[in-house]
């Protein structure tokens, strides 16, 4: 990994950069934007790229990664790439072929992290790790009880290294975070800025997180944006955070989250914003 990159160690010994680029975009967004955004993100220092077969842009994201390897910006081992097994491919016999489709689209030999949304395919995921197709395996949207079930599963060969969930100041997941930390599982936050207010994915009646006056006041004090305050909050809790944007100005702004710190008082104030609001239904 790039020495400038701040990382957390996973339970299997690999390292995950604490700040990742989210690459999901609605269908109407041209796929070429995923290519340009990923290339730019790598150029300015992002080393963690979060994608999925479902996003239908792995070909473009893979092209961006390979182009930055080809021009000497990074080596393959500098990039931490995450893909996900979607819920329609959970039958054990579909797991490896689905991952292999992702690798074909990416034109990469392996992914760094492969995530599932349900525990039923865990054995097949373990075989993908054994085959060298993924370095680590993780889960997404698991609650405390679901994690316990998988951790107590007889014959479990590799426990999940992470749990990717919606997490932001209005849904701070403090109990789940404590449980994950106690079991050496890294929490990865998606939706860390509330949402992009996409009608197909979220409840439009919820308040806009980045308009919150507490975040605004802390942002003003630190001469930062509310978005950077929301992202920094997660990093200081030991949470890996995904920042999703195709906008070059915002991508450049987001990486500045590594350049400042919040005070203990700031963190307590943001903790107090928790309302258990889920943007992604």
Active site residues: 55
DSSP letter for each residue of the chain = --TTS-EEE-TTS-EEESEEEE----TTS-THHHHHHHHHHHHHT--EEE--GGGT-HHHHHHHHHHHHHTTS--GGG-EEEEEE-GGG-SHHHHHHHHHHHHHHHT-S-EEEEEESSGGGHHHHHHHHHTTSEEEEEEES--HHHHHHHHT-TT--S--SEEEEE-BTTB--HHHHHHHHHTT-EEEEESTTS----TTTB-TTS--GGG-HHHHHHHHHHT--HHHHHHHHHHHTT-EEEEE---HHHHHHHGGGGG----HHHHHHHHTT-----SB-
Spatial separation of the C-alpha atoms in residues 7 and 19, rounded to whole Å: 8
Spatial separation of the C-alpha atoms in residues 69 and 43, rounded to whole Å: 11
Detail the residues annotated as belonging to a binding site for substrate: 117
Detail the residues annotated as belonging to a binding site: 117
């Amino acid at each position: 990994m790039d020495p400038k990159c701040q990382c957390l160690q996973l339970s299997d010994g690999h390292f995950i950069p604490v700040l990742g680029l989210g690459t999901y975009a609605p269908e109407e967004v041209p796929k070429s934007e995923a290519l340009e955004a990923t290339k730019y993100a790598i150029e300015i220092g992002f080393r963690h790229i979060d994608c999925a077969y479902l996003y239908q842009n792995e070909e473009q994201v893979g092209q961006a990664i390979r182009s930055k390897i080809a021009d000497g910006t990074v080596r393959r081992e500098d990039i931490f790439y995450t893909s996900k097994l979607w819920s329609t491919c959970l039958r054990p016999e579909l797991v490896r072929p689905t991952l292999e489709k992702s690798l074909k689209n990416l034109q990469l030999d392996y992914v760094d992290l492969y995530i599932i949304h349900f525990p039923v395919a865990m054995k097949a995921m373990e075989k993908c790790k054994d085959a060298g197709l993924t370095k680590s395996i993780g889960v997404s949207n698991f609650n405390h009880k679901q994690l316990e079930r998988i951790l107590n599963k007889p014959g479990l060969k590799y426990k999940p290294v992470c749990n990717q969930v919606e997490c932001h100041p209005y849904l701070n997941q403090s109990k789940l975070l404590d449980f994950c930390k106690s079991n050496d599982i890294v929490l990865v936050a998606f939706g860390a800025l509330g949402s992009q207010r996409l009608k197909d994915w979220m409840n439009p009646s919820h308040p806009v997180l980045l308009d919150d006056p507490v975040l605004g006041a802390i942002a003003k004090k630190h001469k930062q944006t509310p978005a950077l305050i929301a992202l920094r909050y997660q990093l200081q809790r030991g949470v890996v955070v995904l920042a999703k944007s195709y906008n070059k100005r915002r991508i450049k702004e987001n990486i500045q989250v590594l350049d400042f710190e919040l005070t203990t008082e700031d963190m307590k104030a943001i903790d107090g914003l928790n309302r258990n609001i889920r943007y992604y239904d």
